[in-house]
Amino acid sequence: MSRTETDLVLVLSQAIEKNDFDNAFIALKGLRPIDVADALEQLEPTLCWRLLELLPNRAEIFSYFEPEEQVCFAREFPRASLAELVSEMPADERTDLFKRLDPSQRATLLPALAEEDRADIHKLSAYVEGTAGALMTSDYAALKQDMTVLQAMTYLREEAPDAETIYQAYVVDDQKCLLGVVSLRDLIISDLDKSVKDLMTSDVVSASAFDDQEDIAKKIARYDLLALPIVDKQGALIGIVTYDDAMDVVSEEATDDIHKSAGVSTIIGSIKGASIGLLYRKRVFWLVLLVFGNLFSGAGIAHFEDIIAANIVLVFFLPLLVDSGGNAGSQSATLMVRALATGEVVMRDWLYLIGREALVALALGCTMAAAVSILGYIRGDSTVALVLALSMVSIVMIGCMIGMSLPFILSKFNLDPASASAPLITSVCDATGVVIYLFIASLLLADLSIVPV
């Protein structure tokens, strides 16, 4: 926390303790809701609530609190006050908070909520986490097709002030079946006596409540939507997923993939607030597993120990060669994981891509071989240079093939391609590289005398 933030928190604390809320409001004047939330999070829960309950946009400010902080403060807020705050929150954020509370907190909160809010929470919280149903909100603007533009504008002004978005209004029938969508822009520029039916677009992009949230985010991005309507099996509109919520999903999925690419299980919450024990548990599995995986490298070295003993110079180049294979493989894996995640490539593209990758790997391997063979000649002789050149080409090509193919293999077995992490690829390529290097060396150097170091 910067000095300015520290000073603000101190001013707020002193003002609240003295019941001098005018000074507190002056200190917060001009700050955006997210900045106000950052300051209030630093206060004691009781002091936070005394100020928060007086702010006109308290629900918006509270929504910017970190999830863990929301739960912590909810535990300390008075039940009636918490219920009032929760009822003012958007339906999706209210449900997310409810699902994070423990059973006793839920049992305390629910009776204090209005019946309509309780029903909405029960409906939205019933969907499995990670689906569109768990991401959607029931706060949307709905119109009837027989409305005039004037009636529609009046309705939106009076009946839908709390809708998540009114830039797109959804046209439904008496059974709430989705008939079309009309933009606020079209309503504004059209004649007041014109019918909504004449303005609406009937070809509506929609999704099921049981679709994966990552697919929902891709669909919103693909069709450049402000919100995506969610319908049930009968085609009835049950909610919408807004663009900002979809972007949160994209951010979470990207973070998840980055963690997996480093051999780290998904981190829950922020890295700053994560406990040492949690960080240990999330990282230890892959590290221990790869320790045993690296035994294959040791086994390869042990098998060729005679050729190593006879040509000690080989040891000097061993890390250079195997690391090059791991680096090349990691590059290929990263490209393929991202391409699979975005839908740019699918399983049937594998043969085409592996052919292209082979040509790229050959070019990369030859370039790197030219460089390393010079070192081999300086350090050893022409035979060592040849061993290094052939090994480098082979190791880089094999590394690229492994790196490109492993995400496809994982995807084929319905596993997350992001699990083809850099540590995993590196370990596999290291073991392969050791065997290739020493096998080529054994063929070319077996009958030669010891090469000077």
Enter the pTM of the model. Answer: 0.63
* Nearest-angstrom CA–CA distance, 94 and 79: 15
Walk me through the domains of the chain, giving residue ranges and CATH numbers.
3-130 (1.25.60.10), 142-249 (3.10.580.10), 294-445 (1.10.357.20)
What pLDDT, on a 0 to 100 scale, did the predictor assign at position 275?
Answer: 73
What pLDDT, on a 0 to 100 scale, did the predictor assign at position 182?
Answer: 94
DSSP state of 291: H
Q: Three-class SS of residue 436?
A: helix
Ranges of the chain with pLDDT below 50? 1-3, 448-453
What pLDDT, on a 0 to 100 scale, did the predictor assign at position 179?
Answer: 94
What pLDDT, on a 0 to 100 scale, did the predictor assign at position 221?
Answer: 87
Sign of CA dihedral 301, 406, 352, 334: negative
What pLDDT, on a 0 to 100 scale, did the predictor assign at position 230?
Answer: 94
What DSSP element (H or E) covers 4?
A: helix 3-17
What pLDDT, on a 0 to 100 scale, did the predictor assign at position 450?
Answer: 42
Task: Please list the helix, strand and coil fractions of the chain in percent, rounded to the nearest 5, in that order.
Answer: 65, 10, 25
End-to-end CA distance of the chain: 56
Q: How far is residue 61 from each of residues 40, 224, 348, measured CA to CA in Å? A: 9, 28, 48
